[in-house]
Amino acid sequence: MSAGVLYGAKDLRVQQFAVPGLSPGMVLLRVRRVGICGSDMHYFQHGCCGSFVPSRPFIPGHEFTADVAAVAADVRAPAVGARVTVNPARACGVCDYCKAGRGNLCRRTIMLGSASTTPPTDGAFAEFVTVRADQCHDLPLLMDDGVGALMEPLAVALQAVKRAGAVAGKRVLVTGGGPVGLLVMLVARAFGATPVALSDVVADRRHVALKLHADAVLDPAAEHFPERVREITGDGFDLIFEASGAPKALRQAFDLVRPGGTIVQIGTLGTDDVPLPANHLMVHEIQFIGSFRYGNVFDEAIRLVTGGRIHLDPLVSEVFSLAQVPQAMHRALAKDDVIKVQVQVS
Q: How confident is the model at residue 300 (pLDDT cuts 50, 70, 90)?
A: very high
Residue 334: the pLDDT is 87
Give the mean model confidence (pLDDT) for residues 294-302.
94
pLDDT higher than 90, residue 270: no
β-partners of residue 235 are none
Confidence class for position 77, pLDDT limits 50, 70, 90:
very high
- Rounded-to-integer distance, Cα 322 and Cα 125, Å: 7
276 pLDDT more than 90: yes
**140-151 pLDDT per residue, tens:** 999 999 999 999
Q: Is the pLDDT of residue 271 over 80?
A: no
Residue 307 has pLDDT above 90, yes or no: yes
Q: What are the C-alpha distances in Å from 238 to residues 167, 222, 264, 279, 345?
A: 9, 22, 11, 19, 42
Residue 247 has pLDDT above 80, yes or no: yes
Give pLDDT, residue 239: 98
| Digit-coded pLDDT (tens) for 149-199 | 999 999 999 999 999 999 999 999 999 999 999 999 999 999 999 999 999
Contact between 315 and 340 (Cβ < 8 Å): yes
Per-residue confidence (pLDDT) for residue 242, from 0 to 100: 98
Q: Which domains does the chain carry?
A: 2-150+312-344 (3.90.180.10), 156-290 (3.40.50.720)
248-267 residue pLDDT tens? 999 999 999 999 999 999 99
Q: How confident is the model at residue 335 (pLDDT cuts 50, 70, 90)?
A: confident
| pLDDT, tens digit (0-9, with 9 covering 90-100), for 14-53 | 999 999 999 999 999 999 999 999 999 999 999 999 889 9
